[in-house]
Amino acid sequence: MHCVHKISENIYWVGGNDRRLERFENMFPIPNGVCYNSYLILDEKTALMDTVDNAISRLFIENITHVLNGRDLDYLVINHMEPDHCANIEELVRRYPNIKIVGNKKTFQFIGQFYDFDYSMNMLEVKDCDTLCLGKHNLKFITAPMVHWPEVMFTYEETEKILFSADAFGTFGALAGNLFSDETDYEHFYLDEARRYYANIVGKYGSQVQAALKKVSNYEIKTICSLHGPVWRENLPFLIDKYTKWSSYEPEKSGVVLVYASMYGNMENTMNVIANKLAQKGIKDMRMYDISKTHPSYIISDIWKYSHVIVGSVTYNMGLYYGMESFLNELKALNMQNRKVGIVGSGTWSCQAAKLMQEIICSMKNMEVIGSPFEITSSMKQNQEETVDKFVEEFCSSIN
């Protein structure tokens, strides 16, 4: 049975949900599932904005067959050539042999790389700012390279002022019937997942996101249709403000994320002591994570949100605990910057952890290490309280 949703008089959401997939990109846990959006415009010409993931192909075909109601499909616009959105191109060409696939040079390069069918008679190559008239609706293609793939483009529909924004403004989390963000409790149900999606998938490309935001700021936008998550038709400045902050690596909130690696609990104890002291000095809304317990995507997301971080790690075979090393390298790879960082290291016979963490952090852009790293041998002792108090004091004064 088809499952479609009207966005406006002649535009339909024809996507679907996947709540079975364990990990998005086979990497990120998605406890609330994910949705793959696709949108169908009916006008003198018909145009489909992107397709969906293989997991929901059957429903997708039913959806567009239903909405088209016997009409031909004239255009398939490909804003993003990642396979979670393009699993159905070949099937659509087979079903609608007159279809024109709309994409840029890179889009067609990627179609050829991923698939084997002959689409040479179905290509409509466009460049930045080209337009395509469907009748009453007019599509304008705005390239948005490296948000987060090189072929990405946004499509702006000029009559209804809709921005089809590829993965930008998307989120993890399936839709529970309500398609529009204003019909959901977005801040409680989706916002953390939108941030986790942004930070981990798009986070590296802050400057490219900024460039894309600047490009679209020239257009009046009434609706944002992303490829994942709810459609935005109200309170757009809220979402655009989040994207502006996230892409400029500017924290949303003053606060501390504590992350530790501990085998036998001594580093964990030290981090609890530090957090406890910070709390008693009035620091609110802290987050603490065991690197071996929580998937890094959640920790990274919180680091995107908060202004301060404290990392604590044991020394492991003269190096860093593997989980902590990979976590810090991931943060660096994602271009994380502009945070204030406290460092806590431990070891039993040759403490290397603090120095090694400091090296990685200092190789990142605009990361400020607060005070001197706090070091312990095996376990924290009473006689170190003065030193830890000094560490906490320095850290605190960098927050206020």
Ligand X SMILES: Cc1cc2nc3c(=O)[nH]c(=O)nc-3n(C[C@H](O)[C@H](O)[C@H](O)COP(=O)(O)O)c2cc1C
Return the structure tokens found at 346: 């431990």
Q: Minimum distance between the CB of residue 388 and ligand X, rounded to whole angstroms?
A: 15
Give yes or no for residue 84 binding Fe ion (CB under 5 A): yes
Of 302, 296, 289, 184, nearest in space to 232 by CA: 184
State which residue, 113 or 382, has the beta carbon closest to ligand X: 382
Q: Which stretch binds Fe ion (CB under 5 A): 79-87, 95-103, 176-184, 254-262?
A: 79-87
Residues 17, 10 contacting (CB under 8 angstroms): no
Applying CB under 5 A, among 53, 82, 302, 375 the residue interacting with Fe ion is 82
State which residue, 247 or 315, has the beta carbon closest to Fe ion: 247
Residue 350, binding choice from ligand X, Fe ion, none, Cβ under 5 to 8 Å by partner class: ligand X
Q: How many CB atoms lie within 10 A of CB 294?
A: 15
Residues 70, 54 contacting (CB under 8 angstroms): no
Q: How many residues bind ligand X (CB under 6 A)?
A: 18
Residue 74, binding choice from Fe ion, ligand X, none, Cβ under 5 to 8 Å by partner class: none
Q: Minimum distance between the CB of residue 268 and ligand X, rounded to whole angstroms?
A: 6
What lies within 8 Å, CB to CB, of 27 at 6+ separation is 297
User: What is the pattern of x (binds ligand X, CB under 6 A) and - over residues 276-315?
Assistant: --------------------------------------xx
Applying CB under 6 A, among 98, 348, 363, 397 the residue interacting with ligand X is 348
- Indicate the residue type of 49: M
- Is 368 in a helix, a strand, or coil? strand
Place of tokens 């090296």: 359
Angle at CA 192, nearest 5°, toward 187 and 194? 95
Give yes or no for residue 267 binding ligand X (CB under 6 A): yes
Distances (CA, A) of 156 to 14, 167, 178, 224, 254: 18, 14, 23, 9, 36
Residue 84, binding choice from ligand X, Fe ion, none, Cβ under 5 to 8 Å by partner class: Fe ion
Applying CB under 5 A, among 167, 193, 325, 375 the residue interacting with Fe ion is 167
Task: Kindly tell me the burial class for residue 102, based on how many C-beta atoms sit within 10 Å of its own C-beta (0-12, 13-18, 19 or more).
Answer: buried
Q: Which residues in 370-389 contact ligand X (CB under 6 A)?
A: 378
State which residue, 75 or 316, has the beta carbon closest to ligand X: 316
Q: Minimum distance between the CB of residue 262 and ligand X, rounded to whole angstroms?
A: 3
Q: Which residues in 214-233 contact Fe ion (CB under 5 A)?
A: 227
Residues 76, 253 contacting (CB under 8 angstroms): no
Applying CB under 6 A, among 27, 121, 263, 333 the residue interacting with ligand X is 263
Q: Minimum distance between the CB of residue 167 and Fe ion, rounded to whole angstroms?
A: 4
State which residue, 372 or 378, has the beta carbon closest to ligand X: 378
State which residue, 90 or 290, has the beta carbon closest to ligand X: 290
Applying CB under 6 A, among 129, 133, 318, 362 the residue interacting with ligand X is 318
Residue 82, binding choice from ligand X, Fe ion, none, Cβ under 5 to 8 Å by partner class: Fe ion
Residue 335, binding choice from Fe ion, ligand X, none, Cβ under 5 to 8 Å by partner class: none
CA dihedral for 108, 114, 116, 117, sign (positive or negative) = negative
Residue 167, binding choice from ligand X, Fe ion, none, Cβ under 5 to 8 Å by partner class: Fe ion
What lies within 8 Å, CB to CB, of 360 at 6+ separation is 325, 328, 329, 332
| Exposure class string for 326-355: b at 16+ Cβ within 10 A, else e | ebbebbbebebeebbbbbbbbbeeebbbbe
Q: Quote the distance between the C-alpha of residue 216 and its chain's center.
A: 19
Give residues in contact with Fe ion (CB under 5 A). Answer: 82, 84, 167, 227
Give residues in contact with ligand X (CB under 6 A). Answer: 262-267, 314-318, 346-351, 378
